[in-house]
Amino acid sequence: MMLRTLKSIPVLILLFFFMLSVLGGGLLLRNGIYLEHLQIAHATFESISLQWRNKLELQIERLHIDSASDSAAADESVDLSSVENVIPLMRWVDRFFAKISVQEITTGQVKADFLYADSTGHLNLSSSYGDLRTNLGLKGSVLDVNIEEFSNQKFHSRGTGVVHVNLSKQTAEGSLDADLAGSLPLNISFSADSKQCIFTGKENGIITNITPFVDLFGLSQDIQCWITEYLTGTRYQLEEFSGSFPWDNPLYLLESFTAKVRVEGCHYTFAPGLEAIKTAYTDVFFKKGILTIIPHEFTFYGQDGENSWLD
């Protein structure tokens, strides 16, 4: 009996110190812990406070991530093999934290702020590419990203949407309602994985002027004139468009992109000085870099036209 008691003393001592540390840590957390500065790898934290109420509440005034450390790997393909680890991390955060607030996040030219409360994340981003406001939530292995608004002042474009990211399968799908260049309202559906992105879409409103949108591409005048000057109409009905591109070769989009547009009250000409061909409506197809124009019920110099087309 005495031997058993002696053997149990170290265990009791360890248990005592464990309980003491837990109680002491609990008292510290209830009163709050504050750190002025903390450096972890390439991340610098400033003004950190951690306090226990019903759950932990963490507040960080500033977080800076050194983006220069990733420059050497900028040309390497993205490895998504560890993205599934987000699932247990998010569950752990939801279990122990009532609130996480990061008032200012900076990395490179990107600025952001983040708030996690009531099992929902709120992330706002701002950069030269535009501004983004999102809400984040995890359901099973799917991360739901609700895009409240994205906007780009330079391109006069804005929109909303939703993205569902399957963290286990490393795939994503979603839809966006966008207004590009203030003149092209679109609905876009897409799917993506670690290799490529595939999208389809159609108009999401009335289109009467495509020039502001075409201006975004900075085409040479001898090319753009065929789109915005030699072919005009009272109404552009974007019936469908689609395309795909691998992440490591975005320019493949120039080969894969297809579109079908019906132009009502269409006028088009082959060159300046010639009278325009006038049509009730014209179907315009774009595929593999070739623009095909098929007029319907048209006249040319007052003469009725027969079946014709132009590449």
Convert the pLDDT of each residue in 160-194 to its tens digit: 999 999 998 999 999 999 999 999 999 999 999 98
189 and 146 in a common domain: no
Average pLDDT over residues 83-101: 83
- Of 169, 204, 236, the residue that ends a domain is 169
pLDDT band for 222, please (50, 70, 90 cuts).
Answer: confident
Decide: 26 and 41 in contact? Cβ < 8 Å: no
Inside any domain, residue 247:
yes
Residue 85 pLDDT: 74
292 and 267 in a common domain: yes
pLDDT band for 88, please (50, 70, 90 cuts).
Answer: confident
- Of 169, 195, 224, the residue that ends a domain is 169
Secondary structure of the chain: what % helix, strand, coil (to 5)?
25, 50, 25
Question: Which pair of tokens denotes residue 259?
Answer: 């579109």
Q: For 23-51, what is each residue's pLDDT tens digit?
A: 445 556 667 788 899 888 888 999 988 88
Decide: 215 and 44 in contact? Cβ < 8 Å: no
Question: Has residue 6 got a pLDDT over 90?
Answer: no
pLDDT band for 69, please (50, 70, 90 cuts).
Answer: low
Q: Give the pTM.
A: 0.78
Residue 9 pLDDT: 34
Lowest model confidence (mean pLDDT) among 80-84, 144-148, 264-268, 287-291: 80-84
111 and 45 in a common domain: yes
Inside any domain, residue 192:
yes
Domains in the chain, number: 2
Which among 54, 168, 71, 177 is positioned nearest to 117, based on CA atoms? 54
190 and 163 in a common domain: no
Inside any domain, residue 37:
yes
Domain housing 134: 31-67+83-169
- Of 121, 140, 169, the residue that ends a domain is 169
Inside any domain, residue 18:
no
Question: What is the Cβ-side half-sphere exposure of residue 112, based on CA atoms within 13 angstroms?
Answer: 21
Residue 8 pLDDT: 35
Inside any domain, residue 162:
yes
Inside any domain, residue 24:
no
User: Parallel, antiparallel, or unpaired: how do β-strands 97-107 and 56-65 relate?
Assistant: parallel
62 and 95 in a common domain: yes
Which among 190, 167, 168, 186 is positioned nearest to 177, based on CA atoms? 186
210 and 158 in a common domain: no
pLDDT band for 136, please (50, 70, 90 cuts).
Answer: very high
Decide: 210 and 181 in contact? Cβ < 8 Å: no
Inside any domain, residue 200:
yes
261 and 287 in a common domain: yes
| CA–CA gap between residue 248 and residue 141 (Å, rounded) | 27
| CA–CA gap between residue 102 and residue 202 (Å, rounded) | 38
297 and 239 in a common domain: yes
Inside any domain, residue 174:
no
